[in-house]
Amino acid sequence: MVAVPAVSRGLEDVVALESRICFIDGVRGRLIYQGYDIRDLAAHSSFEEVAYLLWYGRLPTAPQLAELRGRLGALRALPPELVRQIDSMPVGSTPMDVLRTSVSALAMFEPSETGPGASSIGGAQRLTAVIPTILATFHRRRAGLPPLRERPDLSPAAYLLYALVDREPTELEARAMDVALILHADHELNASTFAARVTASTLSDLYSAVTSAIGTLKGPLHGGANERVMELLAAIGTPELAETVVKERLAKHERIMGFGHRVYKVEDPRATILREWSKKIGEAKGNLRYYELLRKVEEIVHREKGLYPNVDLYSGSVYSLLGISHDLFTPIFAASRVSGWTAHVLEEYQDLRLIRPTARYIGATDLAYLPLAQRTG
């Protein structure tokens, strides 16, 4: 008799592949990109430096970084056909849907990046450069803002803010966005990265893999959680009501977004850094309301459920204070995570093995086939 392997629901604790890109120590609360601690990267590096690290496996020299900055700046423009497509999308569309559809459509205009074997780093850089432009092209139309001007001189973080809020950010604002992008750039085999790798493992192209990943990130149990955190804060209103609202939701077995994690058993180190930035930006804007509410919610959820915050708890408060609409929070996550998705896809192509797990079948096997005319209901 053949032993039946145990089912791991949600693939929990299953080690599916080897990777050099990202390590999470869920017990000590550490996150490492290509050997470097996220705390050092958040304190000293930039998003483009981190993207280089993820793609090439080493930190860039100054000329290498300058070259990458130049290239990302030059790769931001959309083909006019795609601008027309975005302009024809309903203004009420969810920006994540716009992003998913636009990345998918972009593939048809850039066949050199999507043909068989076109797994080049060029496609990774193109997608990383272009996502903010896709988002801004849609958002500016619905918000009645003038069309986007090309600004190849701005860093990815400053460009994202400039494109979405229509003004040049201060140094502190640009740095807050830069840190947020660094913190979201990669996270081992999270659901969207896994989706990207599954797609790539069939030898499909990079743009298809990123399209799969965007659809996966959209869900509220993954990237969509940061938008829901702000909905919770709106429902709470004032700190005095936090206890009642949070306890009511827990009593109804509702999940409190921004808490809990499949891998971290302690506080997510990204949440620690974003908490500091939520306070810093709150102080700079003279608005500590979100920060104070979130601290209160954190205290209640930890006391009642023993859960720690994840990356999504504080990110929304930072973005809100930077003037960004709530439904752009998850797309901003994608604007950063695309660097990690593409690094993983390139790694997958280097060490390709079709990802194809099995299911334990629990259905029937010996039913007698009834001709259509004999079936009664």
Out of 75, 307, 325, 326, which residue is the one contacting ligand ACO (CB under 6 A)? Answer: 307
Spell out the residues 6+ positions from residue 162 whose beta carbon is closer than 8 angstroms to its own: 151, 154, 168, 169
**Is there binding between residue 284 and ligand ACO (CB under 6 A)?**
no
* Smallest separation (angstroms) from ligand ACO to the CB of 332: 12
* Smallest separation (angstroms) from ligand ACO to the CB of 138: 23
- Name which of 175 and 218 has its Cβ closer to ligand ACO: 218
**Token digits for 118?**
């076109």
**Is there binding between residue 295 and ligand ACO (CB under 6 A)?**
no
**Is there binding between residue 227 and ligand ACO (CB under 6 A)?**
no
CB 176 within 8 A of CB 273: no
- Name which of 9 and 353 has its Cβ closer to ligand ACO: 9
Q: Are strands 30-33 and 22-25 parallel, antiparallel or unpaired?
A: antiparallel
- Name which of 291 and 314 has its Cβ closer to ligand ACO: 314
**Is there binding between residue 260 and ligand ACO (CB under 6 A)?**
yes
b/e per residue 75-108 (b: at least 16 CB within 10 A): bbebeeebbebbeebeeeeebbbbbbbbbbbbbe
- Taking each helix axis as running N to C, give the angle between helix 191-200 and helix 206-217, from 0 to 180 degrees, rounded to the nearest 10: 150
Out of 71, 141, 142, 222, which residue is the one contacting ligand ACO (CB under 6 A)? Answer: 222
- Name which of 260 and 331 has its Cβ closer to ligand ACO: 260
d(CA 345, CA 187): 14
What 3-state class would DSSP assign to 309?
A: strand
**Is there binding between residue 302 and ligand ACO (CB under 6 A)?**
no
Q: What is the CA radius of gyration of the chain?
A: 22
- Name which of 10 and 371 has its Cβ closer to ligand ACO: 10
* Smallest separation (angstroms) from ligand ACO to the CB of 260: 2
**Is there binding between residue 182 and ligand ACO (CB under 6 A)?**
no
Cα dihedral 276→279→281→285 (10° resolution): -170
* Smallest separation (angstroms) from ligand ACO to the CB of 32: 17
By CB under 6 A, the count of residues binding ligand ACO is 19
Sheet holding 22-25, edge to edge: 22-25, 30-33, 36-37
Out of 257, 334, 335, 338, which residue is the one contacting ligand ACO (CB under 6 A)? Answer: 257
Residue in this structure with the two tokens 């947020």, named with its chain if needed: 180
d(CA 332, CA 49): 18
d(CA 356, CA 97): 27
**Is there binding between residue 261 and ligand ACO (CB under 6 A)?**
yes
Task: Choose the catalytic residue: 139, 184, 187, 261.
Answer: 261
* Smallest separation (angstroms) from ligand ACO to the CB of 186: 11
- Name which of 221 and 284 has its Cβ closer to ligand ACO: 221
Out of 181, 256, 321, 343, which residue is the one contacting ligand ACO (CB under 6 A)? Answer: 256
Residue 135, amino acid: L
**Is there binding between residue 255 and ligand ACO (CB under 6 A)?**
yes
Where are the alpha helices (H) located in the chain, listed in sequence order?
38-44, 47-56, 62-74, 80-87, 95-109, 111-114, 121-142, 156-165, 171-184, 191-200, 206-217, 225-236, 239-251, 269-285, 289-305, 312-321, 329-350
- Name which of 177 and 313 has its Cβ closer to ligand ACO: 313
The catalytic residues are 261, 312
What residues line the site for ligand ACO (CB under 6 A)? 10, 190, 221-223, 225, 255-262, 305, 307, 310-312
